[in-house]
Amino acid sequence: MTAPTQRIAPAPIRKTLRVRASQEKAFRVFTANMGRWWLKSHSLLQAPQRDVLIEPRAGGRWYEIGEDGSEQDWGRVLAWDPPRRIVLAWQLNADWAYDPDFETIVEVTFTAEGEETIVAFEHRDLERYGERAEELRGGYESGMDGGWAALLEGFRGVAEKA
Amino acid sequence: MANPFAALAEPIRAEIIERLAARPMAVGELAALLPVTRPAVSQHLKVLKEARLVRDRAEGTRRVYSIDPAGLGPIREWLDRHWDAALAAFAAEAEKEGQ
């Protein structure tokens, strides 16, 4: 042991919500209609976002498409199990760029409860942001400098609008 | 105040985070680098700690503060906030009639 290694190992993001819709409808709106509810400002495209698409099969693409027809990959489908569950790879790295060698996991399950649906959301493996930043920037110390500075800038922008 | 966005909206707190990202420091060291009093630095650190952006440990008679790597880092916070808003919009869409 020389220098102690420190890792960014955040807890998964977990959300549970109850939706007044059937399991089938909740799953369909989440997957087939993502473009209707996705925040338009959360886009990597130059052009305004027209839609967000998930190809309905394991291995399918998860991507956005702009008003000008341009496409931007975000990740891919890891598990397609309608109307119960979908698992997506979110492949946007700490610089908000699509990186095919990077993935974090988004898993959403839909459970019928009477006429409503319990939607359980999880975005996990977030520690990979730390690992990837380390790989890309050649070490934890420099990674912290560059990464935190850039993130704080983005953060301030959001905080000021809030 | 446990909201990391609110915690960072104050410029001096954002600067504290930047300083601690460079290396862990005690309150006195931070106060020497910043244009605020030591009690003010302590107060800002308390807010940052509640937001889980920094953590502290005892080192002899002083407390040394560092970025909380296991806690709610900025990227996690951004994603957390993003999904809150996105899922609320999803729920509203799913609850619309006639689809």
Mean pLDDT by 10 residues, chain A (162 residues): 41 90 96 93 87 98 97 97 98 81 95 96 83 48 42 44 42
Residue B32 pLDDT exceeds 80:
yes
Give pLDDT, residue B98: 63
Dihedral sign (CA B88, B11, B74, B43): negative
CB nearest A19 (choices: B22, B71, B95): B95
Of how many residues is chain B composed? Answer: 99
Tell whether pTM > 0.90. no
What is the model's pLDDT at position B23? 87
pLDDT over 70 (residue B74): no
Q: What angle do CA B20, B26, B74 make, to 5 degrees?
A: 25
pLDDT at res. A161: 44
Per-residue pLDDT, B76: 75
pLDDT at position A140? 37
Whether B17 and A154 lie within 8 Å, measured CB to CB: no
- d(CA A93, CA B77) in angstroms, rounded, equals 15
What DSSP line would sit under B30-70, residue for residue?
HHHHSSS-HHHHHHHHHHHHHTTSEEEEEETTEEEEEE-TT
Considering Cα of B75, then B78, then B84, then B90, what sign does the dihedral take? Answer: negative
Q: Do A13 and B76 touch (CB under 8 A)?
A: yes
Contacts with A24 (C-beta within 8 Å, 6 or more apart), sequence order: A82, A83
Bridge-based pairing state of the strands B62-67 and B25-26: antiparallel
Judging contacts by C-beta atoms under 8 Å, the chain A residues touching residue B94 are 19-21, 25-26, 29-30, 117
| Interface predicted TM-score of the whole assembly (ipTM), two decimals | 0.76
Q: How confident is the model at residue B88 (pLDDT cuts 50, 70, 90)?
A: very high
Give chain A's length: 162
